[in-house]
Amino acid sequence: DNVDLGELMFSLCYLPTAGRLTITIIKARNLKAMDITGASDPYVKVSLMCDGRRLKKRKTSTKRNTLNPVYNEAIVFDVPPENIDQISLLIAVMDYDRVGHNEVIGVCRVGNEAESLGRDHWNEMLTYPRKPIAHWHPLIEWVGQGATVSGSQGGSTNSLKTPPP
């Protein structure tokens, strides 16, 4: 039942003195092919989440026609030390489509509420401030209808359905 959607490698680094959280999207491998050509045009969207609400989002460039993109792109969020325990990151690998809408290939989450590796990676980052910590994360299927996201999405959940003609 577990479709292999691929894996994403990124590093997390937190500077408590500056209140700066840096996530460096390094690369992905074995992504699921989303296009009829057997490839995808992947980019990575990182959302800074707090209590199920998205505070900020940033994305990487789009890599054309590959299932093993290399990004090496840093995304920086300002997070004061007193707030670092309330936030998490939702990282979605997306397939860019010129026609229609971009599709989610898979997601992973890091932060206090994350499961297993996502929480461990987060805690490791907090244990070693100022040091980038990189790990591979398996991508999991995005369930848009509130099953894993506890329904508090704020209206954007139906964007995964096909738009009306």
Q: Please write the tens of the pLDDT for every residue from 37-61.
A: 899 999 999 999 998 899 999 999 9
Which domains occur in the chain, in start order? Answer: 6-139 (2.60.40.150)
59 strand-pairing partners: 45
Q: Please write the tens of the pLDDT for every residue from 119-162.
A: 999 999 999 999 999 999 999 998 764 433 333 333 333 334 44
Query: Where are the extended beta strands (E) located within 16-158?
Result: 20-29, 42-50, 53-59, 70-78, 87-95, 103-111, 133-138
Q: Distance between alpha carbon 55 and the CA centroid of its chain, in Å?
A: 14
Identify the pLDDT of residue 165. Answer: 53
Identify the pLDDT of residue 144. Answer: 64
Identify the pLDDT of residue 147. Answer: 37
53-84: b or e for each residue (b if 16 or more CB lie within 10 Å)? eeeeebbbebbeeebebebebbbebebeeeeb
CA distance 119 to 111: 5
Q: Please write the tens of the pLDDT for every residue from 89-123.
A: 999 999 998 888 899 999 999 998 898 999 999 99
Distances (CA, A) of 150 to 44, 53, 115: 22, 11, 15
Quickly tell me which residue has 């500056």 as its tokens.
18
Distances (CA, A) of 129 to 13, 86, 136, 147: 7, 17, 19, 33
Q: Please write the tens of the pLDDT for every residue from 4-24.
A: 899 999 999 999 999 999 999
DSSP label of 100 = S
Identify the pLDDT of residue 2. Answer: 54
Identify the pLDDT of residue 84. Answer: 96
Identify the pLDDT of residue 99. Answer: 83
